Amino acid sequence: MANKTLLNGINDLLVKAKLIQGDSGSLTTLTDSPRQVWIDSAKQAWNEVVEELYSATGKPMPQELAENTITLVTNTRAYTLQSDLVILHWPFIDETNGQYIYEYEGGYLDLVSVQPVPSDYTGLPLYGAIRPTDSYLYLDRIPSSTENGLVYKYRYDKDVSLSLATDTFPFGNSVYRALVEAAHEKFNIHTRREFISGVYDAAMGRAARLLTQKPQRTSYLSVGTVTESGIDNPFE
């Protein structure tokens, strides 16, 4: 059975919240003026629970890792990176010549502080840092004509949030069904300022067990109840 789509998730969530009535009231698109506030809140709720599920289990999200390249250009010291980049995995690698660009340990501010005359530093770059003013890659050396055209590959974790109606959830339907309850609690926070932590924790615990294929814990009590009872939190 195919994984559920974001449209499925929002419909199931709005049914659970009793804001639409089954198939007869189901959305066919994520643009619907009278119900747009509900749709946007439901989308946010789903993205939050998916992100928290993978964060809590320590599992990488499918299709999260991506790669791209930069090409050195004469007299160009800073380079744009992918707009959906969330976490950069160093080093950059010239897979043709076996050269690396490593992360400058002290970061951008330390790098510029040790180069009072930046134009004096030219040639093959060895280190780089992310320039906080614009998120560009800033190199420790300015490439010359000798380095012009060298290609470096980099790998990064990208933003994989669900946004389109056809986007599919990155797990099977058993995990999806467990998460509907958790997404409903998140939805209630955004729309009603209500939240039942015990229900949320139990749903997330169930989803985490199914995602990791670990045996069921003896308890899925909420954090507050678990702390008071001295039982280990099953969702940690």
DSSP 109-142: HHHHHT-SSGGG-BSS--EEEEETTTTEEEESSB
Mean pLDDT comparison of 21-30, 56-65, 182-191, highest-scoring range = 182-191
Domain boundary among 108, 143, 158: 158
The torsion of the CA quartet 36, 39, 45, 47, rounded to 10 degrees, works out to -110
- Cα(157)–Cα(67) distance, rounded to whole angstroms? 9
Domain identity same for 50 and 112: no
Residues 25/184, Cβ–Cβ less than 8 Å: no
Domain identity same for 50 and 77: no
Q: What is the DSSP string of 142-156?
A: B--TTTTT-EEEEEE
Residue 19 lies in a domain: yes
Domain identity same for 171 and 118: no
What b/e sequence results for 144-175 when a residue is b if at least 16 CB atoms lie within 10 Å of its CB, and e otherwise?
eeebeebebebebbbebbbeebebbbbbeeeb
* CA-based nearest residue to 101, from 145, 158, 150: 150
What range does the domain containing 173 cover? 6-61+164-229
Of residues 24 and 10, more confidence is placed in 10
Domain identity same for 141 and 183: no
Other beta carbons within 10 angstroms of residue 124's beta carbon come to 17
Residue 80 lies in a domain: yes
Name the residue with tokens 């992100």.
Answer: 51
H/E segment holding residue 209: helix 197-212
The crossing angle, in degrees rounded to 10, of helices 6-16 and 36-57 is 110
Residue 188 lies in a domain: yes
Residues 91/99, Cβ–Cβ less than 8 Å: no
pTM recorded for the entire structure = 0.60
Say which amino acid occupies 92. Answer: F
Residue 1 lies in a domain: no
Residue 147 lies in a domain: yes
H/E segment holding residue 102: strand 99-103
Domain boundary among 112, 137, 158: 158
* CA-based nearest residue to 205, from 191, 190, 221: 221
Per-residue pLDDT of 70-120, as tens digits, reads 999 999 999 999 988 888 999 999 999 999 999 999 999 999 999 999 999
Domain identity same for 47 and 96: no
Query: So what's the pLDDT on residue 166?
Result: 94
The torsion of the CA quartet 103, 107, 108, 111, rounded to 10 degrees, works out to -80
Domain identity same for 53 and 69: no
Total tally of structural domains belonging to the chain: 2
Domain boundary among 158, 188, 219: 158
Domain identity same for 25 and 95: no
Per-residue pLDDT of 160-175, as tens digits, reads 789 999 999 989 999 9
Domain identity same for 168 and 225: yes
Residue 185 lies in a domain: yes
Residue 236 lies in a domain: no
Asked whether the predicted pLDDT for residue 230 surpasses 50, the reply is: no
Domain identity same for 57 and 69: no
Residue 195 lies in a domain: yes
Domain identity same for 139 and 170: no
pLDDT over 90, % of the chain: 72
Query: So what's the pLDDT on residue 224?
Result: 46
Query: So what's the pLDDT on residue 216?
Result: 52
Domain identity same for 146 and 73: yes
Say how far residue 91 (Cα) sits from the centre of its chain: 21
Domain identity same for 113 and 73: yes
Pairing relationship of beta strands 136-139 and 127-131 according to DSSP bridges: antiparallel
